[in-house]
Amino acid sequence: MLQGHGDDSYRYSNKIIADFSTNVWYGGEPSGLKEYIFSQWSTINRYPEVMAESLSEMVASHHKLNSDQVLINSGTTESIYLIAQAFSGKRTTIVTPDFAEYEDACKLYHHDLAFLPWSKIQELPALSTDLVFICNPNNPTGETFPQLENWVQQNPKTLFVVDEAFIDFTEQINSSIPLINQYPNLLIMHSLTKAYAIPGLRLGYIVASGDLISKLKSIKQPWTVNTMALQAGKFIFENYEQIQIPLKNLLMEKERFAQKLSQNPASKIHKSTTHFFLAETLKGDAAELKQFLIEKYGLLIRDASNFRDLTKQHFRIATLSPEKNNLLIEALEEWRNY
């Protein structure tokens, strides 16, 4: 999907004062990262490592894995398309609502697709498909699925492709990466752009068995991770403990923010375990609301109507600073009376 994602402020002439459409950490990149990258500027005069091998070793060491169990990519989107290509033509189930790129990538590589609503996975259904794509925590709902290991264990012939792009934004579950050696039918996609606020650099990685990583490497293009992204990844893992987001404070503000918004009778707020959450406008539709907020207030939300299983009324909001959150609270009061 080339259009229809969040963070599309570049498409509007209006000045955007607050961007609630992207679920990237609003606080910006870690302190010291920009200076470190600039100090490594001379590395752009040479080709980057073909497979970002040195960063693979750092990531593997961080997770107590072997380096052949890690594959560094240019963001989770590259990971998704690479997996879809590697398993071209397979029977694949996608848990919905979901990130649209799972479906788009699978269609591109001729998967036989089925869709499973998030509400149904609580029953731990038996699966007859080759792959399952699931985002945990889920985008766009912010829900988590603590029973994932049980589901993986009960379906050993199905490869579970788990997107953990937002694992750093919840306290409800931990990463499934420690389970990799226990379950050969488990593959984890991890993002380094959300919590460290570097989506423009494009950086993420896959963790899986050595055999699965080898299969993906056999079709991966060389040099997809540029030298600046590679240096950013090294900085992150060299300073990992010191640069984590203030999650407790962020989630506390999310609760205050959502509670204030829920008092508005023109909108419905959905529960979430992350800093972002779904809402529904009970007046007009999300596209109209988005345009209203841009034109009158310079505020940007994510029109979520193009997520499978959602409606024209759904929109997604990410928690920002209290001051900016208050701007949206007040603007939605105006929408109520508009």
Residue 189 lies in a domain: yes
Closest-CA residue to 140 (of 97, 171, 100): 97
Residue 44 lies in a domain: yes
- Co-location of 135 and 72 in the same domain: yes
Rounded Cα distance between 5 and 302, Å, is 8
Residue 155 lies in a domain: yes
- Co-location of 199 and 175 in the same domain: yes
- Co-location of 213 and 279 in the same domain: no
- Beta strands 112-117 and 159-163 are unpaired
- Co-location of 234 and 274 in the same domain: no
- Co-location of 276 and 202 in the same domain: no
Rounded Cα distance between 68 and 176, Å, is 18
Q: How many other C-beta atoms lie within 10 A of the C-beta of residue 243?
A: 17
Residue 230 lies in a domain: yes
- Beta strands 267-269 and 276-281 are antiparallel
Residue 81 lies in a domain: yes
Domains held by the chain: number: 2
Rounded Cα distance between 220 and 37, Å, is 26
Residue 1 lies in a domain: no
Question: Which residue among 187, 221, 242 closes a domain?
Answer: 242
Residue 146 contacts residue 172 (beta carbons within 8 Å)? yes
Q: What is the DSSP string of 241-282?
A: GGS---HHHHHHHHHHHHHHHHT-TTEEE---SSSEEEEEES
Helix, strand or coil for residue 56? helix
CATH number, domain containing residue 66:
3.40.640.10
Question: Which residue among 242, 276, 296 closes a domain?
Answer: 242
CATH number, domain containing residue 20:
3.90.1150.10
**What's the burial of 78, exposed, middle or buried (CB within 10 Å: 0-12/13-18/19+)?**
buried
Q: Which domain holds residue 290?
A: 9-27+245-337
Residue 97 lies in a domain: yes
- Co-location of 150 and 258 in the same domain: no
- Co-location of 277 and 320 in the same domain: yes
- Co-location of 23 and 68 in the same domain: no
Amino acid at 264: N
- Co-location of 273 and 137 in the same domain: no
Rounded Cα distance between 265 and 282, Å, is 8
Q: How far apart are the first and last CA of the chain?
A: 32
Residue 4 lies in a domain: no
Question: Which residue among 225, 242, 259 closes a domain?
Answer: 242
Q: Which two tokens mark 126? A: 């038996």
- Co-location of 198 and 102 in the same domain: yes
Q: Return the DSSP state at 138.
A: -
- Co-location of 77 and 187 in the same domain: yes
- Co-location of 59 and 194 in the same domain: yes
- pTM (2 d.p.): 0.94
pLDDT tens digit at each of 338 positions of the chain: 444 555 666 666 678 999 999 999 999 999 999 999 999 999 999 999 999 999 999 999 999 999 999 999 999 999 999 999 999 999 999 999 999 999 999 999 999 999 999 999 999 999 999 999 999 999 999 999 999 999 999 999 999 999 999 999 999 999 999 999 999 999 999 999 999 999 999 999 999 999 999 999 999 999 999 999 999 999 999 999 999 999 999 999 999 999 999 999 999 999 999 999 999 999 999 999 999 999 999 999 999 999 999 999 999 999 999 999 999 999 999 999 88
